[in-house]
Amino acid sequence: MSSLDLSGKTILITGGCGALGLFIVQTLCEHGARIVVNDILTEKEARERLEQHPVNLSKITYRQADITQAEEVERLFSSLETLPDIVCCHAGMSKAIPVQDYPIEQFDALMNLNVRAVFLVAQAASRHWLEQEQKGHLIFTSSWVQDIPWPDITPYNASKAALKTLMRGFARELAPKGIRANAIAPGIVAAGMAKKQLENEPEYRKRALKAIPLGYLQPPESVADVFLFLCSDLATYMTGSVLLVDGGASLYPMDEE
């Protein structure tokens, strides 16, 4: 049996219908996991989005829920027939606006999803695992900008720095109970908002490529592969760690000649 075989494991992923989330779902499914996909889309919209990727729909259960609301998070967990072995707190958002012009309403919305919702989901999962005396694994999606500020997304940078600390707190407090927590910090991924900016904003593309020592944008599959590793038995002795997979973008300031 392959060490990357996820057969018998149930994995919940929030934001699973997003541009990057779909690649993660596809990879985990291909390695035998049963996936509970959470998003805010209707079931019909989610199915249409999932069908755009070569996924085994028989291995996927969809649950619509607004995870920024505590009662919705509890409803999500209560609706599951089986408590997940792994919970991936992946849902997030970003908006590129100069810091001096950033609307407070947009700031609040971003922090609500990127920090509050992550805490609500991780807390609910941990509580259910503790009640069932079951081990569990939390996986948080952070970003290389948790440590290296990227211009025009300062609130996003701050949210990922907060998420890194949240992850380490869950790891430290719950390790004695058999609950682990780790994070993945991707770089500039060729998917979602970053991809749109790269395609439509020449200056952004020039700046982004300059920031990556490897010289090319991060394929979304490379992020999914790191999720696969962390979900597998190969990572069972890891907790409190951040796997930085950014093509070297965090090695030095991007404006350095």
**Does residue 202 form part of some domain?**
no
Any idea which residues carry the catalytic annotation?
156
**Does residue 201 form part of some domain?**
no
Average pLDDT, integer, range 170-192 = 96
Give the Cα-Cα-Cα angle 93, 99, 104 (nearest 5 degrees).
65
For residue range 131-166, list pLDDT tens digits in order: 999 999 999 999 999 999 898 999 999 999 999 999
Q: Is 1 helix (H, G, I), strand (E, B) or coil?
A: coil
Report the number of distinct structural domains present in the chain: 1
Cα dihedral value 221, 233, 25, 83, nearest 10: -160
**Does residue 110 form part of some domain?**
yes
> The pTM is what?
0.95
**Does residue 255 form part of some domain?**
no
Q: 186 lies in which domain range?
A: 10-190+219-244
Average pLDDT, integer, range 189-193 = 83
CATH number of domain containing 57: 3.40.50.720
**Does residue 164 form part of some domain?**
yes
Is residue 101 pLDDT above 90, yes or no?
yes
Q: Which amino acid, one-letter code, is at 150?
A: W
For residue range 241-251, list pLDDT tens digits in order: 999 999 999 99
**Tokens at 221, concatenated:** 């599959």
d(CA 141, CA 137): 13
**Does residue 256 form part of some domain?**
no
**Ordered strands of the 10-14 beta sheet:** 60-64, 34-39, 10-14, 86-89, 136-141, 179-186, 242-245
Average pLDDT, integer, range 19-43 = 97
Residue-level pLDDT at 200: 76
- If pLDDT is split at 50, 70 and 90, which confidence band does 207 have? confident
Asked whether 34 and 7 are in contact (CB, 8 A), the reply is no
**Tokens at 200, concatenated:** 């439509």
Average pLDDT, the chain: 94
Is residue 63 pLDDT above 90, yes or no?
yes
Average pLDDT, integer, range 206-214 = 86
Residue-level pLDDT at 210: 84
**Does residue 103 form part of some domain?**
yes
**Does residue 124 form part of some domain?**
yes
Token pair 């985990």 in the structure block, residue: 28
Number of Cβ within a 10 Å radius of residue 109: 15
**Tokens at 82, concatenated:** 């089986």
Residue-level pLDDT at 253: 62
Asked whether 2 and 229 are in contact (CB, 8 A), the reply is no
